[in-house]
Amino acid sequence: MAGKHPRHIRVPLDQETIDALRAGDQVLISGTLLTARDAAHQRLVAALERGEPLPIDLRGQVIYYVGPAPPRPGMVIGSAGPTTSGRMDPYTPALLAAGLRGMIGKGYRSLAVRQAIVEHGAVYFGAVGGSGALLARRITAAEILAYEDLGPEAIYQLTVVDFPAVVINDRYGGDLYETAPLAYAEPVDQS
Amino acid sequence: MREIHVDEIAAAVRDLCLEANYVLGEDVRRAFALAREREVSPLGRQVLEQLLENIAIAESDRVPMCQDTGTVVVFADVGQDVHIVGGAFEEAIDRGVREAYNVGYLRKSMVERPFTARRNTRDNTPAVVHTRLVPGDRLRLALLAKGGGAENMSRLAMLTPADGREGIKRFVLETVKLAGPNACPPVIVGVGIGGTFDSVGRLAKRALLREIGSVNPDPEAAELEAELLEAINRLGIGPQGFGGRVTALAVHVETFPCHIASLPVAVNLQCGPAARHRVVEL
């Protein structure tokens, strides 16, 4: 699983790409991602619940959970590493049902999200938290798509080139956060 | 009486905020280099490589290492022979924070009305300030830019004396395990033991200010530090929770006497990748 050369994948995702991914795979992601965090998620799900159309088409899309730092003049984006995904858990199953196929963040997902990932044939990637300066260099464009009034929490479209990530949850129920520690844990002597 | 003007304090805080966010301390850097040598998991090593590269990019681009540029926490040791002039001490600290986060392209992450409107204060103020009066005529400021991810996974327990040393170990290990990837491991673990409900959390946070790898001068606390570090690194969580032997870079234990009925324990987690603290003496 680990140590293999990273696989290059395109986003938005097609089913064939998702089907080939397994927990522990390293990937380099190129194409376009959406950004959304707490406030945008709340709005998207509220719109779905009211039966209103979404301002963006989620089918095949990948959401990156990020709240970037402001860019220096001449830069596309400031430091832009992943935020904790678990805060988005209450909203995620509804977005997966609406066509979302991938998420990039860091940290554990709820059982409901892991089940929805399997049910809808989706994938959850982990990016390296605390490497926002490096990840910002892999983002070549950023434009606001929706909810501009939310400021830094607006939905952006990011163009990424070789954005590094690791598959945490694959569509078959594989879970790197569960299996990886088992592979490296050493029993502690119980005295 | 030695006079220190608030402008000097504001400027010092501004500089500490900027440097802390762009440049990782030498001690943390060394710990990462060592971790890379020690880590056996290929994915874990890959993470450590990426973090080392990130440190270099942040420094050269003057971009924060992590987009979460944190809540500013200041530990101020004010000499009792210091006279602060020109304005209010805590306002000066906030002025320094405001300036740094505006001129330095740092993210403003503080919201007011925490359980209702959660409105961004737009300048990352207020800072959390812990002031202690000490002998002398100097002013020492230790500053942390504390990210939300690891802070959210920190825990406090009012154990009983019967829980003892084993109870403390269990609680610390449980905390690191529950935090898993969310705290951005490899982490630095600050453990406070003793005191009261309010002071034990501060003790744990103060433990994070110590140089990585420094050892508590009390042999019993030092032994506990070593044992905890070893046990944490046997959990297998590894860098970013991708599996491996380096889950923590260091465990720092700080203690204080406590009530006969009590054994308070606090575990304050600090993400290693953005372990940002700086000290200045005025």
- CATH number (domain holding residue A163): 3.20.130.10
pLDDT at residue A3 above 80? no
Within a domain: residue A183? no
CB-side exposure of A30: number of CA atoms within 13 Å? Answer: 6
Within a domain: residue A180? no
Asked if A71 has any chain B CB less than 8 Å from its own CB, the reply is yes
Q: Which chain A residues have a beta carbon less than 8 Å from that of B64?
A: 69, 78-79, 132-133
Instruction: Tell me the CATH class for B149-276.
Output: alpha beta
In chain A, positions 19-58, which contact chain B (CB-CB < 8 Å)? 24, 26
The residue type found at A10 is R
Contact check, Cβ <8 Å, A133/B242: no
List Cα–Cα distances, A75 to A9, A139, A142, B53, B54, in angstroms.
Answer: 25, 10, 10, 19, 16
| Out of A106, A128, A184, closest to residue B238 by CB | A184
Search chain A and give the residue with CA nearest B70.
A69
pLDDT at residue B204 above 60? yes
Contact check, Cβ <8 Å, A83/B68: yes
List Cα–Cα distances, A94 to A53, A90, B202, in angstroms.
Answer: 14, 9, 40
Mean pLDDT of B70-89: 97
Distance of alpha carbon B111 from alpha carbon A39, whole angstroms: 13
Distance of alpha carbon B29 from alpha carbon B12, whole angstroms: 23
What does pLDDT average to over chain B? 96
pLDDT at A189: 57
Q: How many residues would you count in chain B?
A: 282
Within a domain: residue A20? yes
SS3 A30: strand
* Per-residue pLDDT tens over the stretch A140-154: 999 999 998 887 788
Please state whether A101 falls in left (phi above 0), alpha (psi between -120 and 50) or beta. alpha
Pairing of strands B119-120, B248-258: unpaired
Within a domain: residue A124? yes
Q: Which of A27, A79, A168 to mutate to test the interface with B (most CBs of B within 10 A)?
A: A79
Mean pLDDT of B57-84: 96
Domain of residue A28: give its range: 7-173
The residue type found at B212 is I
Contact check, Cβ <8 Å, B181/A126: yes
pLDDT at A188: 66
pLDDT at residue A2 above 70? no
* Per-residue pLDDT tens over the stretch B11-63: 999 999 999 999 999 999 999 999 999 999 999 999 999 999 999 999 999 99
pLDDT at B118: 86
SS3 A93: helix
Within a domain: residue A43? yes
| Out of A24, A134, A181, closest to residue B57 by CB | A134
Q: How far, in whole angstroms, is CA B154 from its chain's centroid?
A: 11
| Out of A66, A72, A126, closest to residue B240 by CB | A126
pLDDT at A191: 47
Contact check, Cβ <8 Å, A129/B231: no
Interface A–B counts its CB contacts (< 8 A) at 176
pLDDT at A1: 43
Search chain B and give the residue with CA nearest A190.
B166
| Out of A79, A180, A187, closest to residue B67 by CB | A79
Asked if A84 has any chain B CB less than 8 Å from its own CB, the reply is yes
- Residue A31 C-alpha, separation from nearest chain B C-alpha, in angstroms: 21
CB-side exposure of A173: number of CA atoms within 13 Å? Answer: 2
Contact check, Cβ <8 Å, A132/B271: no
Please tell me the least confidently modeled range out of A157-161, B112-116, B159-163. B112-116
Within a domain: residue A190? no
3-state secondary structure B142-162: EEEEECHHHHHCCEEEEECCC
Q: Which of A75, A184, A188, A191 to mutate to test the interface with B (most CBs of B within 10 A)?
A: A184
Helix (H) or strand (E) holding A140: strand A139-146
Helix (H) or strand (E) holding B226: helix B219-232
Helix (H) or strand (E) holding B131: strand B128-134
* Per-residue pLDDT tens over the stretch B154-181: 999 999 999 999 999 999 999 999 999 9
Looking at this predicted complex, what is its ipTM?
A: 0.93
Within a domain: residue A84? yes
The two tokens of residue A169 are 């949850």
Distance of alpha carbon B183 from alpha carbon B169, whole angstroms: 19
pLDDT at B60: 94
pLDDT at B275: 86
A111 Cβ neighbours under 8 A, 6+ residues apart: none
Query: In chain B, count of helices (H) and strands (E)?
Result: 8, 12
Contact check, Cβ <8 Å, B42/A176: no
Contact check, Cβ <8 Å, A185/B245: no
Q: What ranges in B104-208 are assigned the alpha helix state H?
A: 148-152, 164-179, 197-207
Which residue do the tokens 């850097």 mark?
B29
| Out of B41, B58, B66, closest to residue A2 by CB | B41
Number of folded domains in chain A? 1
- Residue B66 C-alpha, separation from nearest chain A C-alpha, in angstroms: 5
Within a domain: residue A1? no
- Residue A138 C-alpha, separation from nearest chain B C-alpha, in angstroms: 12
Helix (H) or strand (E) holding B195: strand B187-195
- Residue B274 C-alpha, separation from nearest chain A C-alpha, in angstroms: 6
Mean pLDDT of B83-108: 97
Contact check, Cβ <8 Å, A166/B274: no
Q: Which chain B residues have a beta carbon less than 8 Å from that of A136?
A: 63
